[in-house]
Amino acid sequence: MTNFQSIKDARIELGLTQDDLADQLGITRQTYAKMESDPGNLTINEARTICAVLGKRCEDIFFATIVK
């Protein structure tokens, strides 16, 4: 299982741009960029929606284990 360090890492792994993901979420790229840069301000519903679109579990994105 892969652990991600950020929403951005998961998005990039899928080959999506911020515009692509914003379109899938039904929001502007600017709104999505704010979410990506400051995920600590997401509501649980926003986090769940982003994870669903990315096909990932919230635990993998928001509670990832960093392996060095």
User: Each residue of 21-63: pLDDT tens digit?
Assistant: 999 999 999 999 999 999 889 999 999 999 999 999 888 888 7
Provide CB contacts within 8 A for 7, sequence distance 6+.
35, 36, 39, 50, 54, 61
Q: What pTM did the predictor assign?
A: 0.79
- 1.10.260.40, 2.30.30.140, 1.25.40.10, 3.30.465.10: CATH of 7-62: 1.10.260.40
**Closest-CA residue to 24 (of 55, 2, 59):** 55
The more confident residue out of 3 and 19 is: 19
Write down the domain spans for the chain: 7-62
The more confident residue out of 43 and 66 is: 43
